[in-house]
Structure 1
Amino acid sequence: MDTLRYKVELGKKVDLADWPTHEQNGMELDQVNEQLKDTIEELKKWHTRLHAEEEKGIVVVLQAMDAAGKDEAITYLFSHLTAQGLRVTTLGKPTEEELKHDYLWRLNKALPERGQIGILNRSHYEEVIAPRVHNLLEEEPLPDQLIDGEVWNRRYRQINDFERYMCENGFPFVKFFFNISKEEQTTRLLERMKNPEMNWEFSFSDVEEREHWEEYQDIFGDMLTHTSTDHAPWYILPADDEMYSRLIIACVMVEMLKDINPELPEISGGQKEKLQYYIDKLEQEAK
């Protein structure tokens, strides 16, 4: 798969209307499923190496409108990986304590350790989306001089600087935006609403936020334009096709891990002798 087709180029202006919400690149669904199965197996292998080496960690950002498939992607893809090497966090509405700090403060509690993949189901990018749509900054305890016409560009720069800092300290970022169509979101929301077993996934705010659909699309485009960097790129997924989107994520993750190239720790000479001693001992006991 050519994952570069879905990567936002540095400095390129993003209009989500130009990016497909439905695409399987000419592949049949059974082909997608088969390739996804193989890619997940490869991802498991590389994740084991990352976890064993404990030198670098990866931060995965998942961002989207409601019902775009973030939760399902986490369950389908990352549940196959070693649990100790994963950390999943959802950053929702800031708490009273979090509002007393800078807007990136709460992110530190969600970051992975070396050897882990940290998954942010919603992320620090919430701080340049919802507050902008609903004019929420004035309700936060911020100094008036920080709420001006440059606040969003300033936050973009701060986020880029933070992600560069993390990358330079061994924690690269990779970011996925689930580009779902309004029609497909309607279908998925209705399914949640009509199916009693799925009602728990539904929130009335999911429907209410649709009133701001076009505004969200514009703000997402602005966010993707200003925060896709060489050290922390965005990939835009055709989220109407759930399985194909998962395949893109899995392929990008494998490529990233191959670039990191983690290695399994080697046993030293003295430890090898001790290991062989216990191998011989246990084999004798087995006889």
Structure 2
Amino acid sequence: MESFIKKFKIEEGKDFSLKKLDPSYTGEYRKDGSKELLASYKEQLSSLQDKFYAENSHSLLVLFQALDAAGKDSAIKHVMSGVNPQGCQVFSFKQPSSEDLEHDFLRRHYKALPEKGRIGIHNRSHYENVLVCKVHPELVLKENLPGHTSLNKINKSFWDSRYKSINHFEKHLNDNGTVVLKFFLHLSKEKQKERFLKRIDDKKKNWKFSAGDIAERAYWNDYMNAYEDAILNTSTENAPWFVIPADNKWFTRLAVISIITETLDSLSPQYPVLPDSASSHLQEYKSLLNAER
């Protein structure tokens, strides 16, 4: 079975183009057997997470970024459905509040980081500040940054500085025991249109549809360029990007859970072993418990 990490990881310093990557790719996998394979991965992930939580040595931060209808919510739902909720936390980031705008752009994301032993899922992330904000630079002006009172100052130098801040932030996390995985769910424009139409036709999914989704489609090429720039500038060994084909949700889930599972397995988490001074008393405690009436 191929390694999804090797297949979809964007290597640091290597050029790539989203146009050259197929959003409908499924390789040798077929939907018919995907449920069984996904179930197998869930069992592995559940076992690894149990040890990961008990060991309490590292934390895992998983970021999901994508355009609307790419399947972030369903990927999180299916991939994480087998883990113990006690060791997992999910944050969905919307537009920054007035309080958020009074602080630097990383602050609200730092507050949501997972503790040791936990898996943290961020549905959208600090990358919105170099994605949506890059497509709509007028949003940056709301941050009231010193010397940035006009769009003229929101230039290449500004974005390079943000990429640098992000890289430093993620390296700091990695140095302190947080493993960072970043997933971009790569959806085609045609498939997004198809899913939007389903949201309109299905009354159970009407609530998911927003008129703003249609307006943002006009900026499709701008978003693709913003994602390319962000991935090229911030995919590092400390915090790699994975570009996952998203036209087939069943395949997206397989790729994501495989990468998370393989990453946890590489850490070789183990259940803590009691010191001899403590374990030597276990039989004594067992006898006391059995002697109770």
Provide the rounded CA distance (Å) in 2 between the counterparts of 1:108 and 1:227: 17
Checking the alignment, whether the CA contact within 8 Å between 1:87 and 1:119 is kept in structure 2 is yes
Greater Cα shift, 29-38 or 160-169: 29-38
- Within the candidate set 263, 267, 283, 1:256 is matched to 263
Letter of the structure 1 residue corresponding to residue 86 of structure 2: Q
Normalised by the length of structure 2, the TM-score is: 0.92
Q: Give the whole-Å Cα distance in 2 for the aligned partners of 1:139 and 1:102.
A: 12
Q: CA deviation at 1:26?
A: 1.9
> In 2 relative to 1, CA 243–284 (structure 1 residues): closer, same or farther, beyond 3 Å?
farther
**Residue aligning to 2:274:** 267
User: How far off is 1:108 after superposition?
Assistant: 1.4
Task: Give 1:61's match in structure 2, choosing from 60, 63, 66.
Answer: 63
- CA-to-aligned-CA distance 1:126-149 (integer Å, 9 cap, x gap): 000111111222233111257443
Amino acid in the other structure paired with 2:147: D
Q: What is the count of residue pairs matched by the alignment?
A: 286
Q: Which residue pairs with 2:127 in the alignment?
A: 125
After superposition, the C-alpha distances for 1:25-48 in whole angstroms (9 at most, x for unaligned) are 122212222222111110111111
2:236 is matched with 229
TM-aligned CA deviation for residue 79 of structure 1: 2.1
Structure 1 counterpart of 2:236, which letter? T
Indicate whether 1:162 and 2:169 are aligned.
yes
Alignment of 1:204-215 (within 5 A): 204-215=211-222
Q: Which residues in structure 2 correspond to 1:47-86 (within 5 Å)?
A: 47-86=49-88
1:148-159 correspondence runs (5 A) = 148-159=155-166
In the TM superposition, 1:1-287 aligns within 5 A as 1-3=2-4, 4-135=6-137, 136-145=139-148, 147-280=154-287
**86-95 or 119-128, which moves further after superposition?**
86-95
TM-score, normalising length from structure 1? 0.94
Q: Which runs of 5+ in 2 are unaligned?
A: none
Q: Structure 1 regions of 5+ residues with no counterpart?
A: none
Query: Is the 8 Å Cα contact of residues 59 and 174 (structure 1) preserved in structure 2?
Result: yes
Amino acid at match of 2:279: K
Bigger mean CA offset, 189-198 vs 24-33: 24-33
Q: CA separation in 1, counterparts of 2:8 and 2:36?
A: 21
Distance 2:117 2:161 in 1: 32
- Aligned partner of residue 192 in structure 1, secondary structure: helix
State the one-letter code of the partner of 2:107: W
Cα drift, residue 267 of structure 1: 2.7
CA displacement 1:7-58 (0-9 Å, x = unmatched): 1011122321111101221222122222221111101111111111111101
Asked if the contact 1:15–1:218 (Cα under 8 Å) also holds between the matched residues in 2, the reply is no
1:24–1:147: structure 2 CA closer, same or farther, 3 Å change rule? closer
How many angstroms apart in 1 are the aligned matches of 2:122 and 2:130?
Answer: 15
CA distance in 1, matches of 2:98, 2:13: 36
Determine the C-alpha separation between the residues in 1 that align with 2:178 and 2:236.
Answer: 15
Tell me, in whole angstroms, the C-alpha distance in 2 between the residues paired with 1:262 and 1:138. 45
Contact 1:61–1:122 (CA under 8 A) maintained in structure 2: yes
Mark the CA change 1:5 to 1:282 in structure 2 (over 3 Å): closer, same or farther.
same
Please give the alpha-carbon distance, in whole angstroms, between the structure 2 residues aligned to 1:225 and 1:185: 24
Deviates further, 135-144 or 72-81: 135-144
What's the offset of the Cα at 1:98? 0.6
Amino acid at match of 1:118: G
Deviates more, 1:90-99 or 1:140-149: 140-149
For the aligned residue pairs, the C-alpha RMSD in angstroms reads: 1.7
